[in-house]
Structure 1
Amino acid sequence: MGSVFSYSGLSTKIRALQSKLMTEEELSEIVQLPNVPQIVAYLKRKPEYSRAWANLDENDLHRGQIEKLLKQSIFRNFSKIYHFANKEQRRFLSLYSKRYEILVLKAIMANLFDHRNTDPVDLSPYRDFFLHHSKLDLDRLAATTNMEEFVNALKGNEFYGPLSRVMEHGNGLLFDYGMALDLYYFTQIWNLRKKLFKGDDLEEITKAYGEKFDMLNLEFIQRSKRYYHMDPAAIYSLLIPMNYKLKKEEITALVEASGHDEFVAVMNRTYYGRKYPQITPVNLEEFYNYILRTVLEKESRKDPYSVAVIYSYLYHKEHEVNRLTIALECVRYKVGQEEAMRYIRNN
């Protein structure tokens, strides 16, 4: 799969899309703007948004509408990449797109748990994308009024299994259902990677997802112990069932650490503690973003004709939307430039 021939057209398309991503300098300019309409006017002048937003009046758009437009840009570009991809590349993209399905499922479940039936989830940013890239019946799912109806509406879909198992145990929380979806997705990626990839592609996707899952497990163990005081058995049941650079015995030592000092001592002996001596339990989330971004950028530069290029672009595009959403909120609430950029960089 990872060859110049199979990736030539797709890599050219992705390079064109990458050239339109917002730079940190542009984000810094945005957070200095006086109001939200000025942000829209600014974005309308940028190649990524100029054509799709050309006929919009920035003075008529509220924050929620702008966020929908930003989300739609993710799906629009995903579809462009999918159009240029070959059969093997589309298998990866189809697997990757399940993260978007899970995002919507979580939003609907949050609505059900909050009993906000009078304010249904706005599915408009997802409709066209899901029409071509998903088998979920959005309208049927959005019309459900409780979790039992919601889970039953998924019968015949791959997400029914993990969610129905949570329901069978009774008294499942929103966290439990969301974690079941995440674990299903992560496990599927890890187990299918050897069927989808070979050679350099397999090595790159293993490194990218391997470090991502290791860092997520580190972060979850730390948060579970520090904020929720969960017992080891509960923590083990919610970890991503894979190992890359984080060894099984290290996970055991971290989960069963008796206190903060012991946790730090174990973490410092791991691959990540040795490679990144500045990492601490407090900044794990920040380092998760940094490590994943660094791995993807390094792998895509090393082999510009590989699956790393696809994953790297989609990651950066999604984070652009997250950062622009943060910038909107910062301008809206008059957050200073320095503080706003700190929030943006940590994303």
Structure 2
Amino acid sequence: MGTLLSYSGLSTKIRAMQSKLMTERQYQEISQLESVPQVVAYLKKQPGFKELWADLDENSLHRGDMEKLLTHTIHQNFAKIYKFANPSQRTFMALYFKRYEIAIMKECLRRVFDKTREGLDLSLFKDFFDRHSKLDLEKLTQAATIEEFVNSLKGTEYYSPLSKIGEEYTPLLFDYGMALDQYYFANIWSVKDKLFKKRDLQEIIKAYGNKFDMLNLQWIYRSRRYYHMAPADIYALLIPVHYKLSHKEITALVEAADKEEFRRVLDTTAYKKRYPELAPENLEEYYTLNLRNVLESEARKYPHSVIMIYSYFYHKEHEVDRLTTAIECIRYGLSPAETLDYIHKN
């Protein structure tokens, strides 16, 4: 009863916000538009953007503004839910928020490694991050070297995992991005039992357990298929979590003699039983399908739990990805049919 009462108000709020997410009909209408200003003008009339973009002038936007504005709608909706949430619910949101910090850090790292990239302006996000984060966006965006970037993280939880990189080899952008992902995923799994109880804990385990298993399957396959990495190097990339994939299955997949043996091992896993069409070549597609199915199914069954929050953020972020794709297609003059096809593939 306590859980029901604590989540009833928030669930109502999230359902109202979820009803404002873009529909298939709206994506079809967007695909017919001919310019980015037309897309912005269209979105300004839609329930999910009307309030947020009321003062936005679509004719004064620069080329790179749209992606940031769309991303910021995620932040704005996060802030709405956070304001409405109780301390227990904010615990999950604080943990989830780290994915936004990592996205910002990866963008800054790309600029450090690619000296030809233009300066990075994250001023739109400053107020949001000032309220929820210890990151100094100004220092991160001004860092010209990897040393400056890592030093700007002193006093945050990300300094320790990144400061250890490069002691034995010359690291690449991939190494820093992977270190951030691994830290984030391992952190979620290590603190879940301390931070959550009962139904919330069960939903965290199910959602993230499925996510981590499917990510590990992807990384093993890609590491073998495209990068021809040695087993020891593949193990170093994996999230140290076993949910439906046993340690024995992970070992067999990593050390499979060839792609046919990899396929045979994959066919014995719980995920193949769940999805008979699962194959090495479509692991990325089924990663997305599996996570969406888990979140939607669990949110329907347990609307008064933390999974309701996770499910909303997943769908909002997916909406932003699809709109970003649509805008790029329109910008490059693709036909409505091609644009809609790319939207559906996202």
AA partner of residue 110 (structure 2): A
Counterparts of 1:57 and 1:154, CA distance in 2: 36
Counterparts of 2:148 and 2:60, CA distance in 1: 37
Output the TM-score relative to the length of structure 2. Answer: 0.96
Match of 1:98 in 2: 98
Counterparts of 1:268 and 1:166, CA distance in 2: 36
AA partner of residue 90 (structure 2): R
AA partner of residue 254 (structure 1): L
1:141: Cα distance to partner?
A: 1.9
Give per-residue Cα distances to partners, 1:298-336, cap 9 Å, x unaligned.
Answer: 010001111000000011111111110001011122323
User: How do residues 229-244 of structure 1 correspond to structure 2 at under 5 angstroms?
Assistant: 229-244=228-243
1:345: Cα distance to partner?
A: 2.7
Matched, 1:21 2:13: no
Give per-residue Cα distances to partners, 1:41-87, cap 9 Å, x unaligned.
Answer: 11011011112222323233244212221111100110111111111
Query: 5+ residue gaps in structure 2?
Result: none
Tell whether the 8 Å contact from 2:121 to 2:141 is kept in structure 1 after alignment.
Answer: no
Counterparts of 2:9 and 2:26, CA distance in 1: 29
1:259: Cα distance to partner?
A: 1.3
RMSD: 1.5
Counterparts of 1:214 and 1:281, CA distance in 2: 14
Counterparts of 1:103 and 1:186, CA distance in 2: 14
User: How do residues 216-227 of structure 1 correspond to structure 2 at under 5 angstroms?
Assistant: 216-227=215-226
AA partner of residue 100 (structure 2): Y
Match of 1:188 in 2: 187
1:164: Cα distance to partner?
A: 0.8
1:339: Cα distance to partner?
A: 3.5
Match of 2:246 in 1: 247
Counterparts of 2:253 and 2:17, CA distance in 1: 41
The percent of aligned pairs where both chains have the same amino acid is 59
Match of 1:76 in 2: 76
Counterparts of 2:315 and 2:103, CA distance in 1: 17
Tell whether the 8 Å contact from 1:71 to 1:125 is kept in structure 2 after alignment.
Answer: no
1:167: Cα distance to partner?
A: 2.9
Counterparts of 2:259 and 2:100, CA distance in 1: 36
1:159: Cα distance to partner?
A: 0.2
Query: 5+ residue gaps in structure 1?
Result: none
Distance 1:65-1:161 versus aligned 2 partners, 3 A rule: same
Tell whether the 8 Å contact from 1:162 to 1:181 is kept in structure 2 after alignment.
Answer: yes
Match of 1:34 in 2: 34
Output the TM-score relative to the length of structure 1. Answer: 0.96
Secondary structure of 1:126's counterpart equals helix
Tell whether the 8 Å contact from 1:273 to 1:279 is kept in structure 2 after alignment.
Answer: yes
1:22: Cα distance to partner?
A: 0.5
Tell whether the 8 Å contact from 1:2 to 1:305 is kept in structure 2 after alignment.
Answer: no
1:156: Cα distance to partner?
A: 1.9
1:16: Cα distance to partner?
A: 1.1
1:139: Cα distance to partner?
A: 1.0
Counterparts of 1:302 and 1:227, CA distance in 2: 40
Distance 1:2-1:173 versus aligned 2 partners, 3 A rule: farther
Counterparts of 2:139 and 2:40, CA distance in 1: 34
Give per-residue Cα distances to partners, 1:167-204, cap 9 Å, x unaligned.
Answer: 32330111111111100000010111111211111111
Counterparts of 2:270 and 2:241, CA distance in 1: 15
AA partner of residue 184 (structure 1): Y
Counterparts of 1:116 and 1:132, CA distance in 2: 32
Tell whether the 8 Å contact from 2:4 to 2:304 is kept in structure 1 after alignment.
Answer: yes
Q: How many residues align?
A: 346
Secondary structure of 1:245's counterpart equals coil
AA partner of residue 312 (structure 2): Y
1:2: Cα distance to partner?
A: 7.5
Tell whether the 8 Å contact from 1:2 to 1:200 is kept in structure 2 after alignment.
Answer: no
Matched, 1:310 2:309: yes
